[in-house]
């Protein structure tokens, strides 16, 4: 029985040689591809709709990941707007031989739910229920506000300096 809530998702993938870069570590692009899939799966399951990626924030590659390691993606819808959701993802790498586990990556995706015509559609409001969910929700609100302020500043700069 799955103990995760509908706003959470866990996925584990074995890192294979086709994911390696020239240094023999897993290519960052391969991890980004998996992150996008995990964000899609988490957000679409929560919203009950097809979703699209609007943005990816704060992708932090903390540790390299080796071929042969198991990588677990722990995703959670942290915040909902009217049609959008922030999905936070923590990436944990497990060295099977060395029997060690480490935090390898973290990031935040903004996903937008869309209807059958590709138009944004409403998502259920998220109700954080425990301390961790409340902390993630509050942090997501701050990130959202900072993104909005940055976008406003960019618009102002473009208007002041056309062409």
| pLDDT at 4 (0 to 100) | 56
Kindly state whether residue 103 falls inside one of the protein's structural domains: yes
Cα(22)–Cα(129) distance, rounded to whole angstroms?
Answer: 45
Kindly state whether residue 151 falls inside one of the protein's structural domains: no
* Cβ 26 vs Cβ 105: under 8 Å: no
* pLDDT surpasses 60 at 3: no
Looking at the structure of the chain, the number of domains it has is 1
Is the pTM higher than 0.85? yes
Kindly state whether residue 29 falls inside one of the protein's structural domains: yes
* Cβ 42 vs Cβ 77: under 8 Å: yes
Enclosing domain of residue 114: 8-126
Average pLDDT over residues 71-82: 96
- CATH code for the domain in which residue 122 is found: 3.10.129.10
Kindly state whether residue 1 falls inside one of the protein's structural domains: no
Kindly state whether residue 143 falls inside one of the protein's structural domains: no
In tens, the pLDDT along 107-136 reads 999 999 999 999 999 999 999 989 999 999
């Amino acid at each position: 029985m799955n103990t995760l809530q509908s706003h959470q998702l866990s996925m584990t993938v074995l890192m294979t040689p086709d994911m390696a870069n020239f240094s023999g570590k897993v290519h960052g692009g391969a991890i980004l591809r998996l992150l996008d899939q995990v964000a899609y799966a988490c957000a679409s399951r929560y919203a009950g709709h097809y979703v699209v990626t609007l943005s990816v924030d704060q992708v932090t590659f903390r540790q390299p990941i080796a071929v042969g390691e198991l990588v677990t993606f722990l995703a959670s819808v942290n915040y909902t707007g009217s049609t959008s959701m922030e999905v936070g993802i923590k990436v944990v790498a497990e060295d099977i031989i060395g029997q060690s586990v480490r935090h390898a990556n973290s990031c935040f995706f903004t996903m937008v739910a869309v209807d059958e015509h590709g138009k944004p559609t409403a998502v259920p409001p998220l109700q954080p229920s425990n301390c961790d969910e409340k902390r993630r929700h509050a942090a997501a609100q701050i990130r959202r506000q900072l993104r909005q302020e940055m976008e406003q500043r960019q618009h102002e700069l473009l208007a002041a300096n056309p062409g």
